[in-house]
């Protein structure tokens, strides 16, 4: 791996980071536009900064791609699977972002190829495909982080609802208390629950929709309990007191198990990145170090077997370290 290749990789990583940063800025701008009509703007003649201008250009490109995608039945059907990300404003905008990342990385590779005087269409396609699917990794990580926050706050929501029931409030009012008293993703989800109730959906259906969005085991327990309560009847305060006690014990057990496996997880993550660090160091010190392996059929077979063993190691260790509580 020569210096120009390292520069290309560095530029691609920088472009990817900047693109993800622009996506976050566009989300912030969207929220600011929602509350702009409730604020007094004293500086209407203030000119936009360079960052805002670039962001506006990005949003214009995004809207142009969305208008094209809306005419395609394929991409409309493709957008349905992204509806499970309930915090996404528009699934078609998400797909447009994926295309923009892919095109940006493709342009970076083409420009760097002019410097390197070496162009490979296969590498260009590979870079654009990676750019298209790299946003999925970001969504998966963001969704796991969001669902973890919901799982940690769900017990607080149950406590607030149970206290509201003991004070004589109904379930709709209790849900409103949760959406107002708590912050973050759990508040957003309970606002959706409150909205569904106002549209006339039954309690069991509302919480079933909640579970389909977050896919958390605690939400499944809550949904099953409310469904059983709806069929057989019973004391609402007693049911929620039992759920509150169960969630508290589960959270305590989950925290203890996480504390017990924290050192093992640290070793796992170190061993996970160690091969990449060693390979990168050897390539930096001697770019031709792996040439005998790459240009030899037996060496390629060894690389494939090593990759399979590495993936198997990740799957097995993650299964062992997974905490079910």
CATH of the domain at 228: 1.20.81
Clarify whether residues 155 and 167 are in a common domain. yes
Rounded distance between C-alpha atoms, residue 106 and residue 128, angstroms: 5
Clarify whether residues 258 and 291 are in a common domain. yes
Clarify whether residues 82 and 113 are in a common domain. yes
The 3 state secondary structure assigned to 23-74 is HHHHHHHHHHHHHHCCCCCCCCCCCCCHHHHHHHHHHHHHHHHHHHHCCCHH
User: φ, ψ for residue 95 (rounded to 5)?
Assistant: -65, -35
Number of structural domains (the chain) is: 3
Clarify whether residues 297 and 202 are in a common domain. no
Local structure of 323: helix, strand or coil = coil
Q: Both tokens of residue 248?
A: 């508290």
- Length of the chain as a residue count: 325
Clarify whether residues 304 and 282 are in a common domain. yes
Would you say residue 198 lies in a domain? yes
pLDDT at 24: 62
Calculate the CA dihedral of residues 295, 298, 299, 303 and round it to 10 degrees: 130
pTM score > 0.75 for this model?
Answer: no
pLDDT at 80: 76
Clarify whether residues 206 and 309 are in a common domain. no
Would you say residue 257 lies in a domain? yes
Rounded distance between C-alpha atoms, residue 155 and residue 101, angstroms: 38
Clarify whether residues 242 and 265 are in a common domain. no
Asked if 211 and 220 count as a contact pair (C-beta separation under 8 A), the reply is yes
Clarify whether residues 115 and 187 are in a common domain. no
Would you say residue 143 lies in a domain? no
pLDDT at 42: 46
Clarify whether residues 224 and 199 are in a common domain. yes
Q: Both tokens of residue 7?
A: 């520069």
Clarify whether residues 194 and 265 are in a common domain. no
Among candidate residues 53, 48, 58, the one with its CA nearest the CA of residue 19: 58
Would you say residue 126 lies in a domain? no
pLDDT at 35: 58
* Domain of 168, in residue numbers: 148-251
Domain boundary among 187, 219, 251: 251
pLDDT at 303: 85
Would you say residue 40 lies in a domain? no
The mean pLDDT values, 10 residues at a time, for the chain of 325 residues are 60 67 60 56 56 75 83 81 68 84 84 76 83 83 86 88 87 88 88 87 84 84 78 75 85 81 82 85 79 81 88 84 65
Local structure of 159: helix, strand or coil = helix
Enumerate helices (H) and strands (E) in the chain, giving the number of each: 12, 0
Rounded distance between C-alpha atoms, residue 150 and residue 187, angstroms: 9
Would you say residue 138 lies in a domain? no
Clarify whether residues 13 and 110 are in a common domain. yes
């Amino acid at each position: 791996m020569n210096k120009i290749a390292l520069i290309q990789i560095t530029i691609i990583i920088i472009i990817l980071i900047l693109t993800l940063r622009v996506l976050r800025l566009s989300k912030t701008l969207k929220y600011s536009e929602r509350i702009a009509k409730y604020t007094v703007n004293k500086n209407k003649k203030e000119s936009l900064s360079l960052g805002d201008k670039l962001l506006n250009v990005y949003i214009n490109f995004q809207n142009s791609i969305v208008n094209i995608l809306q005419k395609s039945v394929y991409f409309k059907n493709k957008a349905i699977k992204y509806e499970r990300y309930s915090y996404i404003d528009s699934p078609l905008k998400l797909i447009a972002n994926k295309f923009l990342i892919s095109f940006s990385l493709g342009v970076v590779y083409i420009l760097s190829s002019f410097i390197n005087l070496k162009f490979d269409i296969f590498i260009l396609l590979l870079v654009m495909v990676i750019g298209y699917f790299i946003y999925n990794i970001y969504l998966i990580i963001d969704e796991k982080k969001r669902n973890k926050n919901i799982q940690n706050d769900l017990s607080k929501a149950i406590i607030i609802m149970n206290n509201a029931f003991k004070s004589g409030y109904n379930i709709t009012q209790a849900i409103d208390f949760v959406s107002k008293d708590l912050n973050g993703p759990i508040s957003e989800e309970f606002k959706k629950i409150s909205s569904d109730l106002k549209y006339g959906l039954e309690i069991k259906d509302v919480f079933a929709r909640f579970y389909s969005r977050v896919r958390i085991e605690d939400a499944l327990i809550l949904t099953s309990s409310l469904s059983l309560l709806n069929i057989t009847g019973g004391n609402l305060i007693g049911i929620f007191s039992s759920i509150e006690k169960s969630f508290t014990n589960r959270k305590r057990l989950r925290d203890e198990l996480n504390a017990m496996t924290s050192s093992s997880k640290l070793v796992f993550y170190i061993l996970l990145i160690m091969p990449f660090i060693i390979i990168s160091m050897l390539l930096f010190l001697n770019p031709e170090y792996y040439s005998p392996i790459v240009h030899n059929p037996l060496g390629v077979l060894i690389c494939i077997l090593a990759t399979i063993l590495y993936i198997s190691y990740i799957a097995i260790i993650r299964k062992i370290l997974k905490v079910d509580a």
